[in-house]
Structure formats: structure tokens, C-alpha cells
């Protein structure tokens, strides 16, 4: 039987050493993410959101505590094993898109498949399918500078998903987009979530966070709130019904 738990953090702490000063970016974080969940992580600037996502995405290691990814302790894994996990199980989306400027949309989407050793024929087939899913088949041969911000982010989404990752991490995915384009990207996330994709998204925007099913609030490196958004919405509705 497969576990419903995809991610589990036990007492995770991250301390940065900046010269003489120790910065406690994360303190004793306990967090469980189940398969299929759509979680928003919110919190003020400097509260530790990116630090947390970097650890979740196996881009950096915690100072203390244990991170379980799909039942495996990440601590025990070699750099090589972590690279495989990042490449095959994790999709990443960033505020500034992080597309390679000298590669076309198609070539950017192909990269993870290339690293995974997929044949070039399969690479283009799967990448074109993904570009089609994000509505950019007609832009496959365009370079990032020839695309709008929203289109670049859609290419980044296609690249993040082309390997069918177990989880999609997004750090302020709409931060560089106007609100209308941001909503478009968010509805894409919701559609993915409805298809079963597990998503953890960082956002400053409370309205965006309301679209996730769960909201985790960080403050000064600690989880100060972890709530189901749907239940708070239905609570609002209930109160409303009582009022009327």
C-alpha cells in the first residue's frame, strides 16, 4: 500500500551563518504534505518561505531535523541520489521564470528529459504535448525574449511538469506578472490540482492563497498557522447563512 504522505518535516531547523551572526531562518518546523494536496505557504518577507521551499525541493539541506520525501530520509541520500530526486520527482517554478535565454521554448521544456536520458524523439514528442497543454504549441520555436511574462511562466510550468513530478513547488509564481495573467497561471495550478498534482506554492498574495486548499503561515521561521482554506470559506458561508 502506498502512503498518503508525500512529505514530512520533523523539527526542521535552518541556521545561516553570516560572519559572526547566526540567522535562524527556520525553527522546529513540523509539516506533513499528503499526495494530491494544494498548499499555499504565506508569511512576511524574511519569514523563511524560500528557505523552506529550498529544503523541500532538495536544493539545500537543513541544519537540524529530518526531512522524509516519499518515505525516504533525505539526509541519508548522496548528492547524486538527490540530483535524481530533483530531476525525476520534483518540478520547480520560480518568480523570475529561470528559462535559458539561448534556448527556444521547446528546448527549455526538453531539458529535464534530456538530463533523464530520454531519446530525442521522445523528448520532442513529450515536450510538444506539454507545450500544447499550456496553450503554447504555436510558440515552440520562440526564444524567451520573444514571449510575454505569462507565456514565459507557462513554458516554465511545461518544463516543470514534463517529467511528471510527484510534486510541484512554486516560489511566488505570479510575483512578476500583472494580476490578470497571475490569475491565469493560478487557474492552471487549480486545473493541475484537480488532475491530482501535488502543489506547494509560496505567495505574498492572500487572495491567491485562498485558492489553495490549505494555507500554512510562517512567521520568524516558525509555522504559526496551518488551516484548511475550504473549511474557513465554508465557515464564512455558514455564518452568512446564519446571518441571513
Cβ at position 242, least distance to ligand ATP in Å: 37
- Segment contacting Mg ion by CB under 5 A, of 8-16, 46-54, 68-76, 80-88: 46-54
Residue 51 interacts with Mg ion (CB under 5 A): yes or no: no
> Is 24 in contact with 47 (CB distance < 8 Å)?
no
Number of residues that bind Mg ion (CB under 5 A): 2
C-alpha span between 62 and 12 (Å, rounded):
6
Residue 211 interacts with Mg ion (CB under 5 A): yes or no: no
- Segment contacting ligand ATP by CB under 6 A, of 3-11, 15-23, 207-215, 232-240: 15-23
Beta-carbon contacts of 70 under 8 Å, excluding residues fewer than 6 positions away, are 6, 89, 166
Beta-carbon contacts of 161 under 8 Å, excluding residues fewer than 6 positions away, are 91, 130, 133, 168, 192, 197
Number of residues that bind ligand ATP (CB under 6 A): 12
Residue 203 binding: pick among Mg ion, ligand ATP, none (C-beta 5-8 Å cut-off by kind): none
Q: Which is nearer to ligand ATP, 56 or 74 (CB)?
A: 56
Residue 163 has φ and ψ, to the nearest 5°, of -90, 10
Residue 210 has φ and ψ, to the nearest 5°, of -65, -20
- Long-range (24+ apart) CB contacts under 8 A made by 100-103 are 100/144, 101/143, 101/144, 101/145, 102/143, 103/143
> Is 138 in contact with 170 (CB distance < 8 Å)?
no
C-alpha span between 189 and 192 (Å, rounded):
5
- Segment contacting Mg ion by CB under 5 A, of 50-58, 83-91, 99-107, 215-223: 50-58
Residue 46 interacts with ligand ATP (CB under 6 A): yes or no: yes
Choice from 12, 29, 42, 48 touching ligand ATP (CB under 6 A) = 48
- Segment contacting ligand ATP by CB under 6 A, of 4-12, 42-50, 81-89, 128-136: 42-50
Residue with cell 498548499: 39
Tell me which residue of 66, 54, 75, 74 sits closest to 28, measured CA to CA: 66
Q: Which is nearer to ligand ATP, 25 or 118 (CB)?
A: 25
Pairing of the two strands 214-219 and 38-43 = parallel
Residue 50 interacts with Mg ion (CB under 5 A): yes or no: yes
Q: Which is nearer to ligand ATP, 50 or 163 (CB)?
A: 50
* 230 grid coordinates: 475550504
Which residues sit opposite 9 in a β-bridge?
31, 67
* Ranges within 50-89 binding ligand ATP (CB under 6 A): 50-51
Residue 16 interacts with ligand ATP (CB under 6 A): yes or no: yes
Choice from 8, 47, 123, 174 touching ligand ATP (CB under 6 A) = 47
Q: Which residues of the chain form contacts with ligand ATP (CB under 6 A)?
A: 16, 18, 23, 25, 43, 45-51
Q: Which residues of the chain form contacts with Mg ion (CB under 5 A)?
A: 49-50
Amino acid at each position: 500500500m502506498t502512503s498518503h504522505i508525500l512529505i514530512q518535516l520533523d523539527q526542521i531547523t535552518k541556521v545561516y551563518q553570516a560572519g559572526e551572526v547566526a540567522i535562524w531562518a527556520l525553527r522546529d518546523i513540523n509539516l506533513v504534505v499528503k499526495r494530491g494536496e494544494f498548499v499555499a505557504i504565506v508569511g512576511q518577507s524574511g519569514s523563511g518561505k524560500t528557505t523552506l521551499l529550498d529544503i523541500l525541493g532538495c536544493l539545500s539541506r537543513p541544519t537540524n531535523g529530518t526531512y522524509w520525501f516519499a518515505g525516504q530520509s533525505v539526509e541519508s541520500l548522496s548528492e547524486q541520489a538527490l540530483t535524481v530526486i530533483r530531476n525525476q520527482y520534483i518540478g520547480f517554478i520560480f518568480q523570475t521564470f529561470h528559462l535559458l535565454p539561448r534556448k527556444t521554448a521547446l528546448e527549455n521544456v526538453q531539458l529535464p528529459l534530456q538530463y533523464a536520458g530520454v531519446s530525442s524523439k521522445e523528448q520532442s514528442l513529450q515536450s510538444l504535448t506539454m507545450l500544447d497543454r499550456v496553450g503554447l504549441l504555436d510558440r515552440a520555436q520562440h526564444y524567451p525574449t520573444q514571449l510575454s511574462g505569462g507565456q514565459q511562466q507557462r513554458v516554465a510550468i511545461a518544463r516543470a511538469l514534463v517529467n511528471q513530478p510527484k510534486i510541484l513547488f512554486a516560489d511566488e509564481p505570479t510575483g512578476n506578472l500583472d494580476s490578470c495573467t497571475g490569475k491565469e497561471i493560478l487557474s492552471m495550478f487549480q486545473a493541475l490540482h484537480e488532475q491530482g498534482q501535488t502543489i506547494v506554492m509560496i505567495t505574498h498574495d492572500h487572495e491567491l492563497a485562498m485558492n489553495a486548499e490549505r494555507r500554512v503561515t510562517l512567521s520568524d521561521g516558525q509555522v504559526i498557522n496551518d488551516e484548511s482554506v475550504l473549511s474557513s470559506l465554508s465557515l464564512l458561508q455558514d455564518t452568512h447563512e446564519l446571518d441571513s
